[in-house]
Amino acid sequence: MIDEQLGLDTAAAEQTVVSVFRQIVAVLASRSNAAIDDVALFHLANTLFAAFARAGEDGLTTEQIKAACAAFPDELVKDRLSVLKGLGAIQPAFDKPYQREYRASFTSYVSMLFVQRMLARGGQSELHQLLTMEKIRLEGGESTTEEALEVVVGITTALRLLVAELVALTVSGTVENLRERAPLLWNAKSLIDQASAVHEILLQFWPALSRKCGELRSAIAAYEDASTNASARLMAAAGTSRALNLLPPEMWKRFANRASVDELAAVLADQVFDAPSPWHDVADLAEAVARTPQTTTNRPTPPRSPVPDNKEQPYQEWKDAEAERLAAIAEEALSGEDSVAVEHLLSDIGWVTARRLLSDLTAASNNDRLPYRLTWTGPVQVRAGSVPSWLTWGVFERVRRPA
């Protein structure tokens, strides 16, 4: 079943690659079936260019090309070579009769790198670069009115198409499809700022284009609303977890490398994570879930008179049963001390008990009515085979709450 699921996931990923590639080359295609429909052709081209790069200026013969692509069927290699030669991606290495050596086109390989980045980023990076280049070109007002008009129309059209896609995915698309297109939301604020800067330059040097600039302003505002709504739906669908795919992996890595211990701890504030599932027994997980108390819907307290009835306790004397329970657990954990290390509390008590105790101590720390605080410091230690199997140095302590 696992192998079957992996096969389905791989097929879906390859179909996505082919779909995006067909969209990219659509404006250059002469027929609807002219673009590739098999991701293997894309991998074959990548293998082919790598072989030409290793060969250097001497190039490759047809026999050497087939040897470099031995992992692919001969008929597939033959057909692909015919197409690449016909379009100029593979050219004779020297201009002489009976040529046997060929070289690869630099332009074709760069275009393939461009396609690969488009597959990963969905066009967001290219739009950022386009705005940067147009801003540099327009600064100083030396461009002609026709060039400025071309810029404002192009950017407005791109933003409108981007907005239309995001709105369709947000309103009528599935969360899975929206999550796949999450790169369209990366650095949305930066894109809006860049587009606004280009708009200001256009309006400053070419006031005759004020109407077109108004359309650009509308497109920028529409993109801001669409990206906000799309991000809100993704975060709502993520539940209590973090919507990690809203940011590119590079930003998460850069934050993890540069952030201090306190900044990293702040990201995980009020969060309780289970240890990695492969280190748990299924029965223990099932028992822990079964013992989890069911949450009840909080209903607003009805208005009451400030004057208590004869048989009713005053408001100040009402008891919070959950707070009392958490306070009792906290005092038992402290055992009369002002603070205690979390490591001592969780060691050698079993996974289910440790999970319950950590959850209660976290709840007591988050309760503003209770004088307790749970703080974390230092790196995470992974201890396979121990309980707990991961450990962060922390302290549970008694504090004085402001009145």
Segment holding 229, helix H or strand E: helix 210-237
Q: In this predicted structure, what is the pLDDT of residue 309?
A: 53
Closest CA to 151 of 162, 139, 164, 163: 139
Query: Cβ(349)–Cβ(357) under 8 Å?
Result: yes
Mean pLDDT across the chain, nearest whole number?
75
**For the segment 318-375, what is each residue's pLDDT rounded down to a tens digit?**
456 788 888 999 899 888 888 988 888 877 777 778 888 888 888 888 888 888 998 8
Q: What is the pTM of this model?
A: 0.46
Tell me: pLDDT of 241 over 50: no
Instruction: Given CATH 1.10.10, say whether it is the number of domain 2-113.
Output: yes
Q: In this predicted structure, what is the pLDDT of residue 311?
A: 53
Domain with CATH 1.10.10 in the chain: 2-113
Query: Cβ(107)–Cβ(171) under 8 Å?
Result: no
What b/e string do you get for 210-241 counting C-beta neighbours within 10 Å, with b at 16 or more?
eebbebbeebbebbbebbeebbebbeeeeeee
Bigger pLDDT: 239 or 177?
A: 177
Q: DSSP per residue over 85-153, as a string?
A: HHHTSEEESSSSSS---EEE-HHHHHHHHHHHHHHHHTTHHHHHHHHHHHHHHHTTS-S-HHHHHHHHH
Residue ranges of alpha helices (H) inside 172-209 are 175-180, 188-205
Q: In this predicted structure, what is the pLDDT of residue 143?
A: 84
Q: Tokens 């329970």 map to which residue?
A: 325
> Of the given ranges (193-197, 280-284, 295-299, 311-315), which has the lowest mean pLDDT?
311-315
Tell me: pLDDT of 141 over 50: yes
Tell me: pLDDT of 307 over 70: no
CA distance 27 to 11: 26
